[in-house]
C-alpha cells in the first residue's frame, strides 16, 4: 500500500546547523549551552543534537575509557557527574569522524539529562525535526470511528492533524465520543510537538479490552491548541470512515 501522507526526507548521517540556542540541565546545572549545535540524523525520523566541545561543561564529564564504533566514527563513552548525581554512559565524544563537521563534538542521551530547551521553550522526548510540519486544521468533514462494527465516535466538526511522516490523526469533540465504550487508563505519553497527554482510554467491547486506543491533550503546545480537549484514536487499530468512505488502516506507527 502506498502511504497517503508525506514521508521523511532526511538521510542517515545528514548534518545541518541548528539555528536555535540549545541548553540541557541536570538539576539546576547547565550541562551544555550552545548556539552552534548540529542536527545529525542517526535515523530518518528525527535528528539528534551534536555539540562542539567548547559549549559543553567538559569538567562534568567522566571518561569511562570505552570506545564504541558508529557509522559516524569511533566515540568515547563518558558519564556525567554533578555533585552527588552520577549518570553513566550518557555522553559520547566523537573524535575523528568521516562525516564533515562532526569531529570534536559530543552527543548526549536524551534521558541522561533532566531538561532540554530550545531557546526558552522546554522540549520533550527528542529534538524536533526541522523538516517536520505539524498542522491542526478544523474541518467539516464527517469522521466516524468504529471497531468490530461498534461506533466509538462520529463528528462533523473534527480537527485534523497533519504531521510529516505520520497518517492523519482525527481529533473529535468529547460530546461526540461514545464514552460508554471507553475505559480511562493511567497511561501518559509525550510528543515533542504536542507535549504530554492528559488522558488515555481503552476500548471495551463485551469481554474484550483493546488497550489504550484513544488519547487527549488538554494543554497541547501552542501551535496545536485546536486539539485541546479533543479525543483521537489510533488509525492503525480502529476503522476510520471519512465522508462515508472507509479508509485503509495504515501500517503500524503507534505515535500520537
pLDDT interval class at 182 (50, 70, 90): very high
- Contact indicator for 187, 212 with CB cutoff of 8 Å: yes
Per-residue pLDDT, 215: 98
Q: How far, in Å, CA of 107 to CA of 75, rounded?
A: 9
Across 102-125, average pLDDT: 95
Per-residue pLDDT, 233: 97
Per-residue pLDDT, 91: 96
Per-residue pLDDT, 97: 77
- Contact indicator for 27, 85 with CB cutoff of 8 Å: yes
* Mean pLDDT of all residues belonging to the chain: 93
pLDDT interval class at 131 (50, 70, 90): very high
- Tens-place pLDDT, residues 47-89: 999 999 999 999 999 999 999 888 888 899 999 999 999 999 9
Q: Is 130 helix (H, G, I), strand (E, B) or coil?
A: coil
pLDDT interval class at 256 (50, 70, 90): low
Beta bridge partners of 151: 146
> Which residue's C-alpha cell is 543534537?
49
Per-residue pLDDT, 250: 84
| Alpha-carbon dihedral angle through residues 57, 59, 61, 67, given to the nearest 10 degrees | 110
- Contact indicator for 234, 247 with CB cutoff of 8 Å: no
Amino acid at each position: 500500500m502506498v502511504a497517503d501522507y508525506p514521508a521523511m526526507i532526511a538521510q542517515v548521517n545528514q548534518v545541518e546547523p541548528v539555528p536555535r540556542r540549545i541548553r540541557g540541565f541536570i538539576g539546576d546545572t547547565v550541562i551544555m549551552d550552545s548556539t552552534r549545535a548540529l542536527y545529525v540524523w542517526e535515523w530518518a525520523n528525527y535528528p539528534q543534537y551534536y555539540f562542539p566541545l567548547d559549549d559543553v561543561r567538559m569538567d562534568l564529564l567522566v571518561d569511562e575509557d570505552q570506545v564504541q564504533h558508529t557509522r559516524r566514527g569511533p566515540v568515547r563513552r563518558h558519564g556525567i557527574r554533578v555533585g552527588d548525581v552520577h549518570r553513566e554512559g550518557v555522553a559520547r565524544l566523537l573524535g575523528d569522524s568521516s562525516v564533515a563537521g562532526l569531529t570534536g563534538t559530543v552527543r548526549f542521551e536524551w534521558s541522561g539529562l533532566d531538561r532540554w530547551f530550545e531557546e526558552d521553550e522546554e522540549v520533550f522526548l527528542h529534538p524536533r525535526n526541522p523538516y517536520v510540519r505539524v498542522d491542526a486544521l478544523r474541518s467539516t468533514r464527517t469522521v466516524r470511528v468504529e471497531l468490530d462494527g461498534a461506533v466509538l465516535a462520529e463528528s462533523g466538526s473534527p480537527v485534523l492533524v497533519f504531521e510529516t511522516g505520520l497518517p492523519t490523526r482525527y481529533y473529535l469533540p468529547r460530546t461526540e465520543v461514545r464514552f460508554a465504550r471507553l475505559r480511562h487508563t493511567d497511561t501518559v505519553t509525550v510528543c515533542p510537538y504536542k507535549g504530554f497527554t492528559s488522558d488515555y482510554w481503552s476500548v471495551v467491547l463485551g469481554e474484550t479490552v483493546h488497550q489504550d486506543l484513544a488519547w487527549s491533550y488538554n494543554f497541547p503546545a501552542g501551535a496545536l491548541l485546536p486539539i485541546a480537549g479533543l479525543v483521537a484514536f489510533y488509525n492503525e487499530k480502529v476503522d476510520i470512515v471519512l465522508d462515508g468512505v472507509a479508509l485503509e488502516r495504515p501500517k503500524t506507527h503507534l505515535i500520537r
